[in-house]
Amino acid sequence: MYLPRGLIAHLYQNLTRRNHASSPPVLLLVALEPDALCACRILTALLKRDYIPHKIQPIAGYNDLSRAAEELVRPMRTLEGGSGGVVVCLGVGGMVDLEEILGMDVDENGEGGPGDVEVWVMDSRRPWNLSNVFGSPMAQDPDTRELVRKQVGVDKGQILRNYESGRGGIIVFDDGDIEDDLEAEREAYCALADMPEVGEGTDSDSDDNDADDNDALPESGQAPKKRKSWGEDDEAQDEESEDERPRQRRRTSGLGGSSDFSRSDSPRSRSVSPAIVAPKEKSVKNLRKQLLAMRNEYTNVLDKYYELGASYSEPVSSLVYSLASELGREDNDLLWNAIVGVSSLELYGRTGSGVGLNPLSAAGGSAGWNGDRGERIRSVLRDEVRRLNPIDLRDIARDVGMGDATGVIPTTARSATDTSIRLSPEPRFLMLRHWSLYESMLHSPYLSARLHIWSDAGRRRLDKLLAKMGVSLTQCKQNYTHMDMELKRGLRERLLKFAPVYGLDGLVPPPPRNGDMKDGWGFVRCWGWKACLSAIDAGVILGAILEVGDAKSLNQSSFDHSNFIGAQDRSEMVNDRAQNGDMVLDAQEYITARFWTAYDALSSIDLLRDHINTAQHLHRAILRTGTTLIEKKQIRHLRSFRMAVVREGPDVQLFTHPGALTKLALWIAEAIVELNGTKGKHKGSELVMAGLDDSRGLERMTKREERKKQREKKKLAKERERAKKRQARIQRNLAAGLEEDEVEDETEEEETESEASDAETEEQEMRGFGRNRFGLAFQEVVRETQARVRMDSFEACVIEIKKEDLSGFLERLSMKAVVG
């Protein structure tokens, strides 16, 4: 089922009305990404204000989702002794059948079901799994007592205003795409759901069916009338119903005959007359052909939808903020969370055509993100900033006096208590307020690609740009906040003047064309004299926390890789467990710890500032690794795409995280486009990026050794038990005066089955667990090569493959015309 955008507050209002002291807590399943994290912050603020109990569970992938389903969701069902409740999926599960994964489906015997558990799904990934969007939970028809997918207040999957929640089921929150773009898919899905099961049939079957066509029931389901015999008299016709006679006369007149035809006493004339020949009913064969044609047509509609590939729609944080706005609960904190969540999508290249480079525009800033739709969302957020942060007349006079009104990048608050959000002409630099101007420009993906910053010539080009702008190296290499005030005030004008000379159009948003129009301007928030951060900077820091780890273990003077929580920690953890047998934190607990650190940082400016060094370390590694790959010419061009593998270097373990590897891939892809262009034989920038994770092999090997030892222990214990049973049986036989016989090894078969089960478990672990939909090429190659892969990420473009299978996988993948 899906909730239209116009009724976005309907379910939440029903939840508040049903809430009481003994209500079960709302369960929030949150993806490990900044957008979902910000949406979680907004939703929990709403729940707290309405005194609704809730608990949060971070979800890293489909394995985590299945585990949460088993441990948290299924016990909520009334069928298993629970009391029902609400589960909210933020950035989780929109592309898979949640009814099946969460164990809420109904089996062949009619057992199971949602059990009064209602699941709200908010996800920006596309395509939707249409079972979530248009499907309804099974319910018992009060008239026929049969299980049907019908509910009061639901029309073809669409929730109406009279819908009463609390009955359970999967409910997708529509951001407008479902109603606007999926009408054909809705009709096709509902028609297929209502269509009876029809066998395909064969040619040989059709010949046999021809003989039974006359005995087949017509489409109306009524039995055919008995044919008259030759000896029946005319009075038999008078027994026909009065309704049939006019119909027969009308048919006669339609054929050109008289309406009052004279009935002949001859029975032969009655059988030949076209006036009384019954219309030929449709045969079962024809009905089956018609149904098969309709089913194929509707199936093709759904297949074409799924074949469109992965893309992204409205961010989850924006959708949840719309809910808060509909409820009249918006404030600066919620607005800031929404802005950070929306801005973070640009860092991961999430566009309307999937993960890739954002289209650039001359408007500057982040104006290219997600095309027109992204700009509409940012325009709404700018209006919200103006509405919730009115400028005092004294501040306007101050801004005019200090030059801020002309577009100076703000770095300080207006007062010690200022926590307002402001619009700022943010350049395409990286963490400008927390780095030097030179470092900020050096690590900007936009500048790196266009100046070829990975080469000595590119560095000299950057130095020359700064020299033309009149900024000395002494000034630009100190912290930006400590630069000369006159340089900072004139920086934007100088960038607008000299950037086009180096092909950097759109580096900085242009001046406002009229009045309040500030297209391309970004967002900045200050916390008194403590800090001033842009929304992009906040998204960069949150992403670094999730991808690198906790900055409490960082030494600011030494960025040794061992200080970071990553694959190396997992290796040491596995060794400790193998050697000492002690229970230590596993990788999943590290991931959960990162989530809570990022969650707390959203409401603590001090914690967010502490992790600025983490973000800087990550982007230094991206520049360093990307430069190495380009200089050493380790980016290979295959038939359909380019390929690069991070195999060595100080940062190899850092890029075992999908988010960090995605940022590196976007950096390299932008450089490739600048180097080779988008025309000619090698047009496009399709790139497959791989990161080597040796610790995964060590972890698997250690687990395999542990399982082997456990099997050996079980085998010895079973042998001892078998020997005891055999000895006891021998003693019983001797005591009864019987001869000693050979005791059958009854546990041998059980042991064999146990070993087979262990081997199957190991193979399943090697292959991984995957329910998400990859790009079409990835799906086909996995099926064709039988490569051992792990498909656990919510991202369709992320795949983890065993090292030994990588070459064969890539070879087959290079033959595909489309790369996901």
CATH number reported for the structural domain that contains residue 179 in this entry = 3.40.50
CA atoms within 13 A on the CB side of 429: 23
442 and 390 co-located in one domain: yes
Which amino acid is it at 463? D
63 and 177 co-located in one domain: yes
What is the structure's pLDDT at 516?
53
Residue 30 included in any domain: yes
pTM summary value: 0.77
Rounded mean pLDDT, 205-230: 42
Least confident range of 174-178, 301-305, 731-735, 780-784: 731-735
510 and 631 co-located in one domain: no
Residue 688 predicted with pLDDT over 90: no
Of 63-77, 153-167, 349-363, which one has max mean pLDDT?
63-77
Q: Cα–Cα distance between 489 and 750 in angstroms, integer?
A: 79
Residue 761 predicted with pLDDT over 50: no
Rounded mean pLDDT, 351-372: 63
198 SS3 class: coil
Residue 746 included in any domain: no
Give the range of the structural domain holding residue 399, as residue numbers without chain letter: 312-546
605 and 681 co-located in one domain: yes
pLDDT in tens, 386-399: 999 988 766 666 65
Q: CA-CA distances (angstroms) from residue 331 to 48, 213, 379, 420, 608? A: 14, 71, 17, 11, 20
631 and 776 co-located in one domain: no
40 and 185 co-located in one domain: yes
605 and 540 co-located in one domain: no
471 and 552 co-located in one domain: no
Nearest Cα neighbor of 816 from 780, 788, 764 is 780
522 and 651 co-located in one domain: no
Q: Which of 636, 657, 691 is where one domain is finished?
A: 691
* Pair 134, 2: CB distance under 8 Å: yes
What is the CB neighbour count within 10 angstroms for residue 84?
Answer: 18
Residue 255 included in any domain: no
* Pair 601, 545: CB distance under 8 Å: yes
Confidence of residue 700 (pLDDT cuts 50, 70, 90): very low
The number of distinct structural domains making up the chain is 4
More confidently predicted of 238 and 666: 666
pLDDT in tens, 126-149: 889 999 999 888 766 656 666 667
Q: At what angle do helices 34-49 and 587-601 cross, to 10 degrees?
A: 60
Q: Which of 642, 676, 691 is where one domain is finished?
A: 691
534 and 578 co-located in one domain: no
pLDDT in tens, 536-558: 999 999 999 999 886 455 443 33
**Measured between alpha carbons, how far apart are the two ends of the chain, in Å?**
29
Residue 211 included in any domain: no
Residue 351 included in any domain: yes
Residue 512 included in any domain: yes
592 and 477 co-located in one domain: no
H helix and E strand count, the chain: 31, 22
Q: 702: which residues sit within 8 A by CB, 6+ positions away?
A: 574, 575, 577, 578
What is the structure's pLDDT at 182?
93
What is the structure's pLDDT at 695?
64
Q: Which of 675, 691, 707 is where one domain is finished?
A: 691
521 and 601 co-located in one domain: no
Residue 246 included in any domain: no
The values of phi and psi at residue 788, to 5°, are -85, 105
Residue 758 included in any domain: no
Q: Is the peptide bond before 425 cis (omega within 30 degrees of 0)?
A: no
